[in-house]
Amino acid sequence: MFYFIIDILGTIAFAISGVLVAMDKKLDVFGVLIIAFVTAVGGGTLRDLLIGIKPVGWLNAPLFLLIIVVTVILTIIFVKQLKYVRKSLFLFDTIGIGLYTMVGVEKGLEAELSPIMCIALGTITACFGGVIRDILCNEIPVIFRKEIYATVCILGGVVYFIFIQFPINKTIAHSMAIATIIIMRILAVRFKISLPNIYRSSS
């Protein structure tokens, strides 16, 4: 139940980020809806395709389609008021990527893949909705350029696999990994931490 609520909050946060990018590109209502949808479900869809889960998850989750449609309508109407909830949105988004990373890791484990591939699938789940969003909007994906997003997911995955070496409850390992992702991301944004610049050093 707790996970379910996080999943909904994460979906809403992801959909809103899609709406904002799409409106910035002046897309029409249908375009905005599609971008919001792929931002919210794209990462999980790519993960399901790569593993071979059929059909992909969202085809059996009409509730999430409904949530996304309502989110899109409300966001379009209240787009000017969004700035007042900017911090909540950032928090939902961050909790969302924490949760989605763990969902991806679990799906990888179910498919009996190695830890490193599970971490890759977790990162894909959390990050590739945004990648597809940016490609559809004709932008180089933002996580390839400046956001530290993905690195944080990888770290979270590593923390999870370290913790499950010990005789502790799996839920605790989950929680520690999600907490790592949330804290690292907040610190990264707060202190403007980014990946090391490879261009100055190589020129």
Note the Cα 196 to chain centre separation in Å: 23
- Minimum distance between the CB of residue 119 and a copy of itself, rounded to whole angstroms? 10
Among 143, 159, 181, 182, binds a copy of itself (CB under 8 A): 143
| Residue matched to tokens 């502790």 | 168
Is residue 178 a contact point for a copy of itself (CB under 8 A)? no
Among 20, 141, 158, 189, binds a copy of itself (CB under 8 A): 141
- Minimum distance between the CB of residue 147 and a copy of itself, rounded to whole angstroms? 9
Nearer Cβ to a copy of itself (105/131): 131
Nearer Cβ to a copy of itself (141/176): 141
Nearer Cβ to a copy of itself (55/167): 55
- Terminal-residue alpha carbon distance, the chain: 52
In the region spanning residues 22 to 81, those forming contacts with a copy of itself, defined by CB under 8 A, are 22-23, 25-32, 34-35, 45, 49-56, 59-60, 62, 65, 76-77, 79-80
Name 111's Cβ contacts closer than 8 Å, sequence gap at least 6.
51, 52
Pair of tokens at residue 64? 């999430």
Can you give the chain as a three-state secondary structure string?
Answer: CHHHHHHHHHHHHHHHHHHHHHHHCCCCHHHHHHHHHHHHHHHHHHHHHHHCCCCCHHHHCHHHHHHHHHHHHHHHHCHHHHHHHHHHHHHHHHHHHHHHHHHHHHHHHHCCCCHHHHHHHHHHHHHHHHHHHHHHCCCCCHHHCCCCHHHHHHHHHHHHHHHCCCCCCHHHHHHHHHHHHHHHHHHHHHCCCCCCCCCCCCC
- Minimum distance between the CB of residue 151 and a copy of itself, rounded to whole angstroms? 6
- Minimum distance between the CB of residue 2 and a copy of itself, rounded to whole angstroms? 26
- Minimum distance between the CB of residue 45 and a copy of itself, rounded to whole angstroms? 7
Nearer Cβ to a copy of itself (81/88): 81
The site map against a copy of itself for 89-128 (x = CB under 8 A) is: -------------------x--x-xx-xx--xx-------
- Minimum distance between the CB of residue 26 and a copy of itself, rounded to whole angstroms? 6
Nearer Cβ to a copy of itself (94/123): 123
